[in-house]
Amino acid sequence: HVKPTKVGGKTADIFHSDKGLLKSVRQGPPAIVEGVEGCIGNTPLFRIKSLSDETGCEILAKAEYLNGAGGSPKDRVALSMIQTAEADGSLKPHSGDVIYEGTSGSTGISLATLARARGYLAHICMPSDQAMEKSDLLLKLGAVVDRVPPAPIVEPGNFVNRARALAQARTASSAESADKGSVADASQLTNTTPTSEPGAATGRGLFTDQFENAANYAAHFNGTGPEIYAQCGGKLDAFISGAGTGGTISGVALFLKPRLPNISIVLADPQGSGLYNKVRYGVMFDVKEREGTRRRPQVDSIVEGIGINRLTANFDAGRELIDDAIRVTDAQALAMARWLVEKDGIFIGSSSAVNCFAAVKTALKLGPGHRIVTILTDSGTRHLSKFWAQAGNVGGTVDTKLEDVLNA
């Protein structure tokens, strides 16, 4: 029992609280773990009060932004891809090997964090229209950052293609320099890299390839899915997620569906993404649209990290288990993000807002009494300069109606 303390000359009796005040709400305390890697997974699942009260459903949020390495579910994926590569010998800790990835940011941040913890360097290629917070953070972590102009996947300048090519170039040049007995000059790999790759990097290059790498959805099949199932005591009616690589929705669906055959797996898809049509109509675009979309740089939305115009191996892995798709506009995502701050004090990024909007739509469709789980992927602090700049400040005395959010 903590003793009373003098606060401002008065004895503070708050320390005497036997009413639960000051008691940690989270169950625990968690055990001591090893490094930042030990802080990955086992994230809380919490009830979003406002949305649950409004819909009569239980709307539960898996707080993936609380993963303790890079602050998103990509911590699980980065760790899984690194562990897989170490197991098959394509990465060797503290060897100077360089990890290359094309990412909207979250996977890069998780990879750069874990690269530090395990003695690698990270070289991250990302589209230049993503929020600066993410590339700034990558630079602080000592990653090499290529912000490349948005380009379709069919062009070599696309961020994913660039990461792959750089990894191949490094591996080739490190093999060559090993022959000659000299150190590879990483600066020759690219002439537009804003930061130079540290000269100490003498190792091979590995393209972790989050879009096609099965270690991605395996992380969610082995972690996120079982955690949700256990936290719900095996009782839930729907799971809602957006897809960037598709790793989350596929991994979780592959775990949950065999155990809960009646569960609805619902894709939350931002405007401009082709996945909605793929899920609902079996085709991504009609012929005319395909031509346009192949020229279109990226998904045309302010939402970052989800929505895609091609089929990835990770999305394909669980595609047949997806029951429905809900399209969410930018205006709806912005309105939902503001709502969650206004009503619940939940400050999240754009893809989480899309997920929550689709969770409400699903609740209204299923009717009261159902339990719906969705993912909160990252914090609003990653999106201050872009998404939240558009959302603006949430006023202190506003009283928004859910109707207004749904009709945004």
- Is residue 332 close enough to count as binding ligand PMP by CB under 6 A? no
H or E element: which one contains 270?
A: strand 264-270
- Of the pair 174, 273, the CB lying nearest ligand PMP is at 273
- Is residue 307 close enough to count as binding ligand PMP by CB under 6 A? no
Q: Say how many CA atoms lie within 13 Å of 88 toward its Cβ.
A: 9
Tokens matching residue 246? 């598709």
HEC letters along 190-243: CCCCCCCCCCCCCCCEEECCCCCCHHHHHHHHHHHHHHHHHHCCCCCCEEEECC
- Is residue 158 close enough to count as binding ligand PMP by CB under 6 A? no
- Of the pair 48, 186, the CB lying nearest ligand PMP is at 48
Instruction: Provide the residue count of the chain.
Output: 408
Cα distances from 368 to residues 260, 283, 336, 343, in angstroms, run 19, 32, 20, 20
Cα distances from 394 to residues 65, 300, 305, 346, in angstroms, run 21, 25, 24, 12
Number of residues lying near ligand PMP (CB under 6 A): 16
Tell me how far, at minimum, the Cβ of 327 lies from ligand PMP, in Å.
16
- Binding segment (CB under 6 A) for ligand PMP, from list 83-91, 193-201, 244-252, 384-392: 244-252
Per-position b or e across 285-297, b if 16+ CB within 10 A of its CB: beeeeeeebeeee
- Is residue 349 close enough to count as binding ligand PMP by CB under 6 A? yes
- Of the pair 82, 402, the CB lying nearest ligand PMP is at 82
Binds ligand PMP by CB under 6 A, chosen from 272, 305, 307, 380: 305
- Binding segment (CB under 6 A) for ligand PMP, from list 115-123, 141-149, 262-270, 298-306: 298-306
- Is residue 245 close enough to count as binding ligand PMP by CB under 6 A? yes
Please tell me whether residue 265 adopts helix, strand or coil conformation. strand
Binds ligand PMP by CB under 6 A, chosen from 223, 242, 270, 318: 242
Tell me how far, at minimum, the Cβ of 144 lies from ligand PMP, in Å.
19
Tell me how far, at minimum, the Cβ of 391 lies from ligand PMP, in Å.
15
- Is residue 243 close enough to count as binding ligand PMP by CB under 6 A? yes
Tell me how far, at minimum, the Cβ of 243 lies from ligand PMP, in Å.
4
CA atoms of 166 and 125, how far apart (whole Å): 10
What residues pair up with 5 in beta bridges, in sequence order? 12
Q: Which residues, including other chains, have CB under 8 Å from residue 333's CB and lie 6 or more apart?
A: 270, 302, 303, 350, 353, 354, 357, 387
CA atoms of 41 and 24, how far apart (whole Å): 20
Query: Is 74 an active-site residue?
Result: yes
- Is residue 306 close enough to count as binding ligand PMP by CB under 6 A? yes
- Of the pair 85, 376, the CB lying nearest ligand PMP is at 376
CA atoms of 19 and 42, how far apart (whole Å): 28
CA atoms of 247 and 209, how far apart (whole Å): 12
- Is residue 377 close enough to count as binding ligand PMP by CB under 6 A? yes
- Binding segment (CB under 6 A) for ligand PMP, from list 29-37, 50-58, 162-170, 243-251: 243-251
Q: Is the CA virtual torsion 211, 331, 297, 121 positive or negative?
A: negative
**String marking each residue 70-109 x if it binds ligand PMP according to CB under 6 A:** ----------------------------------x-x---
Largest CA distance in the chain: 76
- Binding segment (CB under 6 A) for ligand PMP, from list 13-21, 94-102, 224-232, 300-308: 300-308
- Of the pair 203, 246, the CB lying nearest ligand PMP is at 246
Instruction: Choose the catalytic residue: 3, 6, 62, 74.
Output: 74
Q: Provide the binding-site residues for ligand PMP, judged by CB under 6 A.
A: 104, 106, 242-248, 304-306, 349, 351, 377-378
Q: Which residues are catalytic?
A: 74
